[in-house]
Amino acid sequence: MAVTVTRRDPRYLALRRGHNLRWPAHDADAAERILICESAGDAQAALQQVVTAGLRPTVRSGGHCYEDFVANNPGGAILDVGSVSQVTRDASSGTFHVGSGAQLWNTYEALYKHYGVTLPGGVCGTVGVGGHVSGGGYGPLSRLHGLICDWTTAVHILTVDRNGKVMPIRADAKEHPDLFRACRGAGGGSFGLITEFEFNTLPPAPSEVAKASLSFSWEEMTLQKFTDILVNFGKYWETRGQERDTWGMYSVLELAHRSSGKFSLSVQFCNPDGTCRDLQVLQEYLNLFVKWSEKSNTAKAAIGRNDWFDACAMSAGDAANRRGKYKSAYMRRGFTSAEATVIYKYLTKEIEGTSLHAASFDAHSYGGAVNRREMAEKTSITQRGSVIKLQPLTYWEDPQEGATQTQWLAEFYEELYSGPDADPQHAGTPYWNHQYQGCYINYPDVDMLKYNYWPQLYYGEDNYKQLQAVKRRYDPNNVFHHSMSVRL
């Protein structure tokens, strides 16, 4: 039976919120109770109890949601499935079963130690599988192996029918295929409560990875150098970076605000066979940037080699809970100089009384195995032609700074997508065109709600219609909803 935590419980204040400390913004926005479920059976009983009582359920696995979709639930109940976290393999079929509450690092560890395989997911070890896989799930091995949702072969989900009855469903490519597809990338919190993901097979974990990073001093930076770095980065991922021998390479250009002193380019690499026997691809890549870096006098970036498991453990880290705001964009092509100029402008901008030292514009290498065309049909992630994925973000501690920080980021983003490459009908957003492919639902941004075409931005036009049909069929009473959930 689920443990119920109410306002009188000393655990309440800690458990009513997730990773992003912005929510609940006010006490009145908070859920009245949190139900801690230990098993799929617990979750089913708890969900039935909440729905029968006429309360709104929100679902939490790892609690890493960027927006307020879970914590903002006035008078309602948070169903926390973080303890539904088994990672097992069926001995006869060989199918892997991962509980939706499992955290990424625990999952990587269990899959590696017991079976030598992995999920090609994100770096942060405390992200929950429940939200991560529902929204796609992307990380350092995705260019080599695709998104996690590409590997998902079945989903166990609790839906609520028209009469308010909780219905446990196992959805796969044959049974409930439309619901299955929706659970592969359309984002959590729209269709039901997922208790488990199945994977018939999973890719082998690499044996070894090489890592390197370069840093670039803001003091020595000019607009011209900055533009050259961005244009080179983009050009590489648009061209050479899509060739098969580079798919084991994952790189992040982390453009930190000037007040932090420097910005960086990090890279993880393995050959497609999961070894480091030939580092030429990596070396060629680093050579493109070394001349602008702080290490240019040594003309070489230091490359470290680690067992993949150790490297994964080191970067899994512990992401401290904090206040943050995030945006996203998929890029089909590299950066233009017009884009670089806007990025430079905002990363060198100062705002009196506000520190932007934790703000950053992160460009992640993308494509490779992610861009397998057939996956646009099989999953709900239809962005299968992009070569870079962007994540502009900012963090702050003082709640009073929230308005200025979010305004800086909103103006930055809007100006970036109002330039010559923007579609004039969708100015201010990276709407789908020859240059962009919209936004990533696992990096949700409620600022986009002001555009009536926000669902198409995240999902594409036809795909969104399909998702709405799934919503009408499996959640006809809109029991599972938040500000960016799929509409009926």
Please state the closest distance from residue 430 (CB atom) to ligand FAD, in A: 17
471 vs 310: CA distance, rounded Å: 42
- Positions in 36-95 near ligand FAD (CB under 6 A): 58-66, 69-70, 81
In the complex, least distance from residue 148 CB atom to ligand FAD, rounded to whole angstroms: 8
Q: In whole angstroms, what is the distance from residue 215 CA to residue 408 CA?
A: 24
E strands along 178-297, which residues? 193-199, 208-217, 249-256, 262-269
Contact 282, 303 (CB under 8 A): yes
C-alpha–C-alpha distance, residues 64 and 442, integer Å:
10
The Cα–Cα gap between 33 and 11 comes to 11
Q: Is 390 in the site for ligand FAD (CB under 6 A)?
A: no
Residues 6+ apart with CB under 8 A from 280: none
* Count of residues engaged in binding ligand FAD, rule: CB under 6 A: 36
User: What single string gives the DSSP state of each residue in 276-328?
Assistant: -S--HHHHHHHHHHGGGSTTGGGTS---EEEEHHHHHHHHH-----BEEEE--
Asked whether position 267 contacts ligand FAD by CB under 6 A, the answer is: no
Among 139, 248, 368, 455, binds ligand FAD (CB under 6 A): 139
Write down the least CB distance from residue 226 to ligand FAD, Å.
Answer: 25
Residue 368: C-alpha distances to residues 122, 141, 231, 243, 296 (Å): 16, 10, 19, 7, 30
Distance of alpha carbon 429 from alpha carbon 469, whole angstroms: 26
User: Does residue 122 interact with ligand FAD by CB under 6 A?
Assistant: yes
Least Å distance between CB 69 and ligand FAD?
A: 4
Q: Is 255 helix (H, G, I), strand (E, B) or coil?
A: strand
**Binding ligand FAD by CB under 6 A: which of 35, 36, 127, 457?**
127
**134 touches ligand FAD by CB under 6 A:** yes
Which residue, 136 or 430, is less far from ligand FAD as judged by CB? 136
Min separation Cβ 442 and ligand FAD, Å: 4
Least distance CB 18 / ligand FAD (angstroms): 5
- The position carrying tokens 């198409």 is 456
State in angstroms the smallest separation of the CB of 177 from ligand FAD: 18
Candidate segments 33-41, 85-93, 128-136, 169-177, binder of ligand FAD by CB under 6 A: 128-136
Restricted to residues 409-468, the positions that interact with ligand FAD (CB under 6 A) are 442
Q: 138-167 in b/e burial notation, b at 16+ Cβ within 10 A?
A: bbbbbbbbbbbbbbbebbbbbbbeeeeebe
**Alpha carbon distances (Å) from 206 to 146, 180, 270:** 14, 29, 7
Out of 128, 248, 367, 368, point to the residue binding ligand FAD (CB under 6 A).
128
Report in angstroms how near the CB of residue 416 gets to ligand FAD at its nearest: 21
Is there binding between residue 185 and ligand FAD (CB under 6 A)?
no
Q: Among 100, 227, 328, 405, which residue interacts with ligand FAD (rule: CB under 6 A)?
A: 100
Which residues lie near ligand FAD (CB under 6 A)? 18-19, 58-66, 69-70, 81, 100, 122-124, 127-128, 130-132, 134-139, 188-189, 193-194, 319, 442, 482
